[in-house]
Amino acid sequence: MNISGLVVKTAPEHIEQVMETLKTSGLCEIHFHDQTGKIIVTVEGADTNEGVRKMRDIMNLPHVLCADLAFSCSEDEMEGNPGRLERIRDAVPDALESLSADAL
Any idea which fold 2-97 has?
Alpha-Beta Plaits (3.30.70)
Single pTM value for the model: 0.75
Coil, helix or strand for 58? helix
| The pLDDT of residue 80 | 62
Q: Tell me what the mean pLDDT of segment 64-84 comes to.
A: 78
d(CA 91, CA 22): 26
Q: Tell me what the mean pLDDT of segment 96-104 comes to.
A: 50
Where do the domains of the chain lie? 2-97
Give me the chain's average pLDDT, please.
84
The one-character DSSP state at 12 is G
Q: Tell me what the mean pLDDT of segment 4-14 comes to.
A: 97
